[in-house]
Structure 1
Amino acid sequence: MAHTIWNSLGCPASSLPIYEASPSLVYNFGHSYEDINCSLCLTFQPEKSPRWPHLAPRSIYTSVAVLMGIVVFSASFVNGLVIVVSIRYKKLRSPLNYILVNLAVADLLVTFFGSTISFSNNINGFFVLGKRVCKFEGFMVSLTGIVGLWSLAILAFERYIVICKPMGDFRFHRKHAVMGCAFTWIWSLLWTTPPMLGWSSYVPEGLRTSCGPNWYTGGSNNNSYILTLFITCFIIPLSLILFSYTNLLMTLRTVAAQQKESETTQRAEREVTRMVIAMVIAFLICWLPYSTFAMVVATNNNIPIQPTLASLPSYFSKTATVYNPIIYIFMNKQVRQGQALTSLSATSVFAFYAGPGIGHTAPALEVLLPTV
């Protein structure tokens, strides 16, 4: 049966999946075969067919299930710890910490709605929860994923405002922190709701064990949405991150040049530079593959891409829920020494950037540390 379906779609026999199975229930997501480009091998089996062709060997699904299981456990632990500790210790409820808690909440939701569902589906080898859950999962993962993405941009911008003082004697208060967190959710809702209303759609992607925006079918409706999403939820936040950290490093370098005799200052500059580079690289590892894949597929529908390869960008973004808190919080020396994340308090915001190896802020750098 699988050969008949594959050949009727014009797919080469060599691309036929190696593994086949007969799940007890298979859902038709309402797309005709012509709706999904055959070169991507993203076809849907009709409900009445007794067999359904898997898009990859069982070992691939098992490997992905193991990866998602590790992500679910690790992300739940580290992000849950951030939230619990922040609630428990009053010192951590400073305005500059709000966006980190917002990031942890977003990462937890991505884990719950994305990684957990993907884990279950990969165990079964297909999307077991049906069309409605597919759309809901695609929406929730996109919503919370973009909230996390923009949280990193807002985090960078807040540090730029506090340390570089482009607005003069600006005092960062609770209302500013709340506004930053609220912006991430409102902005994300603005750009992830349209597929639920007809501007593009949420469909199974890659191995068809998770769902996301429809990069695959082409047409002005889908392509215009993908381009808009690419600009508003990747290019703009990435530009903000690069702008903020570039100015922060320039400010630090200026201070370090004035304090050449201070070994602490020089060491701090090197540590901060490495930390910022790690932050930017982590952001790009997470989101560049996904964004690039979306744009390439949306604008070149005839490019043949194997389903396993098509799934990789999505899993790259899901793993960010684990390394985000590690890079942005737990790499800080004060956290490792059990000082309850106080590196983001008013008197040690610089130590946050310094990451490993910088336990205290040099007095010569206090010019960078306005009281907030």
Structure 2
Amino acid sequence: MASLQAPMYAHMRSGQNISLAESVPPEIMHMIDPYWYQWPPMEPMWFGIIGFVITVLGIMSLSGNFIVMYIFTSSKALRTPSNMFVVNLAFSDFCMMFTMFPPVVLNGFYGTWIMGPFMCELYGLFGSLFGCVSIWSMTLIAYDRYCVIVKGMARKPLTVTSAVVRLLIVWLICGIWALLPLFGWNRYVPEGNMTACGTDYFAKDWWNRSYIIVYSMWVYFTPLLTIIFSYYHIMKAVAAHEKAMREQAKKMNVASLRNSEADKSKAIEIKLAKVALTTIALWFFAWTPYTIINYSGIFESMHLSPLSTICGSVFAKANAVCNPIVYGLSHPRYKLVLKEKMPCLACGKEEPVTDSRTMATTEISESAA
């Protein structure tokens, strides 16, 4: 450990002419893809900037997602089957930042990955697992909104058991995908500026390339298509509902029917759908650059620099900050409970919750009984 008493980018100050890949400790040299040997070490300034940004994001994500988990689990009104997906999303985002940002900051101080091969593989595994669970949690939220708004009373009510089963399936499949690189289908290696680890998207053989292609179908394209399907039909149903309301109001010769209880319930569900859509849109813009980086690597279609790849990785992790902010600002019941339990954090105009039964799928069914 004597070699770690000073930052690893000290060779830059001494004028040594070595590549970025050659600055790593000897025990992980075998993990470095030959692609990175063409790049000189990054300027120390960039390590400081990235470390500062990821620290701010990490603190915001950990505190924000912890508050979401606490509020949703401590309030009886929020402990509904639908909101289990929200809690699971906050939990996976919390775990992702808890395991991701401290190593990036520590390794950034030394200018390279100093935590050894095993921790590199563990870092890559956690990033893959929690990132995958997050997107599928948001997919479940989108599909649940689709069932509530589009199918309405015709759907089978979501129960605690069915919600738990769905989440267990997501964790199981995501866990299998995250473990596969440890058993020879692709591998986890240092990437970018050598302060983080991920899948080897510069592998030249199609066996390893196929992992990224097939995995992206599960973790990116399939959820994306499911989300598009859900929200297309949600918006279609909303438009039809609005048209029907206008026609009914015209027949009754009144300005609006929006004071009816059914319409108020629908309005709340539509607002919650917008919350989910906003969250998923933020995820899309956060993870798309990293997906492009992976595909650019396996198809050699873009000259990727260490700075661009590590920025893509940090940008993806920033999504873990957005989710608690979106739900905290847009969920009326959440804000009411937050004001009650943590008044110092509550802000903004309090919104009346017309019918609390519309806040969960099963409770809507009960309101129709």
The TM-score, its normalising length taken from structure 1, stands at 0.78
Aligned amino acid, residue 298 of structure 1: I
Provide the rounded CA distance (Å) in 2 between the counterparts of 1:116 and 1:359: 41
1:209-240, Cα deviation, whole Å (9 max, x unpaired): 11111112322122111101111110001111
The equivalent of 2:53 in structure 1 is: 67
Native 8 Å contact 1:204 1:212 kept in 2 = yes
**3-state SS of paired residue (1:193):** helix
Identity across the alignment (%): 23
The equivalent of 2:289 in structure 1 is: 289
The equivalent of 2:299 in structure 1 is: 299
The equivalent of 1:99 in structure 2 is: 85
* Equivalenced residues, count: 329
Native 8 Å contact 2:111 2:195 kept in 1 = yes
Q: Displacement, 1:277?
A: 5.2
1:64-86, Cα deviation, whole Å (9 max, x unpaired): 11111111111111111112222
Native 8 Å contact 2:142 2:273 kept in 1 = no
**3-state SS of paired residue (1:188):** helix
Q: Displacement, 1:318?
A: 0.7
Provide the rounded CA distance (Å) in 1 between the counterparts of 2:17 and 2:38: 17
Of 335, 354, 365, which aligns to 1:371?
365
Aligned amino acid, residue 104 of structure 2: S
Of 146, 154, 174, which aligns to 1:188?
174
**3-state SS of paired residue (1:203):** strand
Native 8 Å contact 1:99 1:180 kept in 2 = no
Native 8 Å contact 2:231 2:277 kept in 1 = no
Q: How does 1:119-158 map to 2 (within 5 A)?
A: 119-158=105-144
| 1:108 maps onto 2:65 in alignment | no
Provide the rounded CA distance (Å) in 2 between the counterparts of 1:317 and 1:167: 37
Provide the rounded CA distance (Å) in 2 between the counterparts of 1:74 and 1:192: 26
Q: Where in structure 1 are there 5+ consecutive unaligned residues? A: 7-15, 42-52, 342-355
Native 8 Å contact 1:95 1:177 kept in 2 = yes
**3-state SS of paired residue (2:50):** helix
Q: Where in structure 2 are there 5+ consecutive unaligned residues? A: 1-10, 247-255, 341-348
Native 8 Å contact 2:328 2:335 kept in 1 = no
Q: Displacement, 1:251?
A: 1.3
Aligned amino acid, residue 308 of structure 1: L
Provide the rounded CA distance (Å) in 2 between the counterparts of 1:40 and 1:252: 54
Q: Displacement, 1:371?
A: 2.2
1:113-161, Cα deviation, whole Å (9 max, x unpaired): 1122112211222112111100011001111111011111111112212
**3-state SS of paired residue (2:365):** coil
Provide the rounded CA distance (Å) in 2 between the counterparts of 1:128 and 1:307: 17
Of 186, 210, 225, which aligns to 2:196?
210
Provide the rounded CA distance (Å) in 1 between the counterparts of 2:237 and 2:160: 25
The equivalent of 1:279 in structure 2 is: 279
Provide the rounded CA distance (Å) in 2 between the counterparts of 1:71 and 1:300: 31
Structure-2 change in CA distance of 1:240 and 1:110 (3 Å): same
Provide the rounded CA distance (Å) in 2 between the counterparts of 1:274 and 1:256: 16
Q: How does 1:7-18 map to 2 (within 5 A)?
A: none
Q: How does 1:1-372 map to 2 (within 5 A)?
A: 5-6=18-19, 26-31=25-30, 35-38=33-36, 41=39, 55-165=41-151, 168-260=154-246, 261-262=256-257, 268=267, 275=275, 278-300=278-300, 303-338=302-337, 359-360=352-353, 370-371=364-365
Structure-2 change in CA distance of 1:275 and 1:228 (3 Å): same
**3-state SS of paired residue (1:204):** strand
Native 8 Å contact 1:164 1:251 kept in 2 = yes
Native 8 Å contact 1:206 1:309 kept in 2 = yes
**3-state SS of paired residue (2:197):** strand
- RMSD of equivalent CA atoms: 3.3
Provide the rounded CA distance (Å) in 2 between the counterparts of 1:293 and 1:132: 24
Native 8 Å contact 2:145 2:273 kept in 1 = no
Structure-2 change in CA distance of 1:75 and 1:280 (3 Å): closer
1:247-280, Cα deviation, whole Å (9 max, x unpaired): 1121122111122224676995996786465334
Q: Displacement, 1:328?
A: 3.4
Native 8 Å contact 1:134 1:203 kept in 2 = yes
Structure-2 change in CA distance of 1:274 and 1:185 (3 Å): closer
Provide the rounded CA distance (Å) in 1 between the counterparts of 2:150 and 2:258: 22
Native 8 Å contact 1:200 1:213 kept in 2 = yes
Aligned amino acid, residue 30 of structure 2: H
Provide the rounded CA distance (Å) in 2 between the counterparts of 1:123 and 1:4: 20
Provide the rounded CA distance (Å) in 2 between the counterparts of 1:125 and 1:272: 44
